Structure 1
Amino acid sequence: MDISTLKEAGLTEGEIKVYLALLELGSSTTGPIVEKSRIARSIIYQILEKLMQKGLVSVITKEKTKYFQAAEPNKILDYIDEREERLQENKEMIEKLLPELELKQKMAVKSATNMYFGYKGIRTAHEHLYLKLKKGESYDYMGVPAFQPEEQHLYWKRDHVRRIKAKIKTRILFNIDADQNTLKNRNSYWGVDARYMPEGIRTPACFAIFKDTTIIILQSPHALAVEIINQDIADSFQAYFEEFWKRSEPFKPNP
């Protein structure tokens, strides 16, 4: 007999074996049930209890001995109907809970902080943007310092070539004391809008912002980068950047 349909109805293999055994035995004590179903004696009462809860087995006591009997097979349909009703009730309860569950998911803060040392460390942190940004997206830098070692300038030039191949754009706000030739060079690349920070604003550290990531970069006295992965923090720094960007002006080199 194919018992897969009974399994799909919600009965376990053990329950099916016991129920089928009782159909053949009629009213019976546990001994013949164990022998017929080949279910271990240690769990036979547990299975019979579950079948009684499902309305598929009844029990009577005669002379202090329990006799179990299978309910009519059509009772399986009643059990399925009751199970479907409970599932529908559970579905409706879950539907009511969904807004609360979704809110909890949104409130879960996914955060990580990483530190990188030296100029190679700064480059490692910076290059994480290529793992997160897609073609047509962009990243922002603000507070870029005037001084950077020549090797770092050479790195940025190579990186702009890579950025162009990836079709990623960037906006850069340099500190006011940055050399004009540096801004001229950066603006010569596709997808770059490099400007000076608004008058009177200068930061020892610079900040890169993309997606859920903020990188705080300090060039001297010891080069290091602190990478913060947190959407709320990234959104906060992005808001600062947008405010400074509004107050900045397109770069125009002095004659």
Structure 2
Amino acid sequence: MNAELLENLGLTKAEIKVYLCLLELNSASASEIAERCGIYRKNAYDALGRLIKKGLVGFAKVETKTIFIATEPQKLLDFLEVRKSEIRSILPELKKIYRAKPAFDDVAVFKGKNGLKSIFEELLKSRANYDLFGSAEKFKEILPYYYPIYQRKKAENKVQCRGIYSENERGKEYVKEFIGEARFLHKEFVNQLSTTMVYDPNVAIIIWKENPIGIVIKSPEVAESYKRYFEMLWANAKT
């Protein structure tokens, strides 16, 4: 049983342990549950109380004892629907707070290969044209299967792109796969360990390493500054 899935639903580790034990037992006293789970009886009571509030456990009085009963696992879906309903009820207020916040630069950090894919997919979804400078080699090296897919999706979405690469990357297969207009500069002017992408009002800085990092800055002023820098490089780059 993947307990992590239950944890993602908002159950604590103690609640998960008690709930799974009770599913096996079907019905039991708190003492029996505590013994079966290998936890203190007080902790079992606390977890049972919370599970009852969540509708995942019921109870009955049998003579002088309280017997706890596991409800149908289908109740997990009901519990999830209740949580979704609660979130929906506060969304209007949360949106008011979000809109009312003062303007400032948003910075988001994405870690790992899937994090980088999120950045690229969001760019494709926006269909925004963009400029970039940095390493194509590292992109292909770290995301070898995704690189050609991304280039193909750019063409399908009619996303136009200008790229500045190091002179020593000219003629490389991965540069030939690049969909867009490419120019080249001497390697000392192009960072081979990162790629910077400018798509107003965003700037995405990708740091290529084994566990890559992507930093997305949402700011028209910052984007404009990087745009001017790119145009200066572009004017001096060679085709």
| Structure-to-structure mapping, 1:91-130, within 5 angstroms | 109-130=103-124
| Structure-to-structure mapping, 1:181-192, within 5 angstroms | 181=172, 182-186=174-178, 189=179, 192=180
Which amino acid in 1 is paired with 2:197? A
RMSD: 2.2
CA distance in 1, matches of 2:187, 2:209: 23
Task: Please identify the structure whose Cα radius of gyration is greater.
Answer: 1
Aligned to 1:91: none
TM-score (norm 1): 0.48
CA distance in 2, matches of 1:205, 1:176: 16
Unmatched runs of 5 consecutive residues or more in structure 2: 1-101
CA contact (8 A) 2:130 2:198 kept: yes
CA distance in 2, matches of 1:167, 1:149: 21
Which amino acid in 1 is paired with 2:184? Y
After TM superposition, give the deviation of residue 160 of structure 1 in Å: 1.7
Instruction: Kindly provide the CA deviation profile for residues 2-38 of structure 1, in whole angstroms up to 9, marking residues without a partner as x.
Output: xxxxxxxxxxxxxxxxxxxxxxxxxxxxxxxxxxxxx
Is 1:210 equivalent to 2:204 in the alignment? no
Identical-residue share of aligned pairs (%) = 17
CA distance in 2, matches of 1:236, 1:157: 30
Q: What secondary structure, in the 3-state scheme, does the structure 1 residue paired with 2:232 have? A: helix
Aligned to 1:140: 131
Is 1:160 equivalent to 2:151 in the alignment? yes
Q: What secondary structure, in the 3-state scheme, does the structure 2 residue paired with 1:200 have? A: helix
Aligned to 2:215: 226
Q: Residues 150 and 198 of structure 1: is their aligned pair in 2 closer, same or farther, counting only changes over 3 Å?
A: closer
After TM superposition, give the deviation of residue 220 of structure 1 in Å: 1.5
CA distance in 2, matches of 1:206, 1:237: 13
Among residues 185, 188, 201, which one is paired with 1:200 in the alignment? 188
After TM superposition, give the deviation of residue 238 of structure 1 in Å: 0.8
After TM superposition, give the deviation of residue 197 of structure 1 in Å: 2.9
Aligned to 2:169: 178
What number of residue pairs does the alignment pair up?
A: 136
After TM superposition, give the deviation of residue 198 of structure 1 in Å: 4.4
CA contact (8 A) 1:117 1:223 kept: yes
CA distance in 1, matches of 2:115, 2:150: 15
After TM superposition, give the deviation of residue 146 of structure 1 in Å: 3.4
TM-score (norm 2): 0.51
Aligned to 1:246: 235
Q: Residues 219 and 246 of structure 1: is their aligned pair in 2 closer, same or farther, counting only changes over 3 Å?
A: same
After TM superposition, give the deviation of residue 237 of structure 1 in Å: 0.7
CA contact (8 A) 1:118 1:224 kept: yes
Instruction: Kindly provide the CA deviation profile for residues 21-75 of structure 1, in whole angstroms up to 9, marking residues without a partner as x.
Output: xxxxxxxxxxxxxxxxxxxxxxxxxxxxxxxxxxxxxxxxxxxxxxxxxxxxxxx
Instruction: Kindly provide the CA deviation profile for residues 136-163 of structure 1, in whole angstroms up to 9, marking residues without a partner as x.
Output: x511111125334546133121112111
Q: What secondary structure, in the 3-state scheme, does the structure 1 residue paired with 2:182 have? A: strand
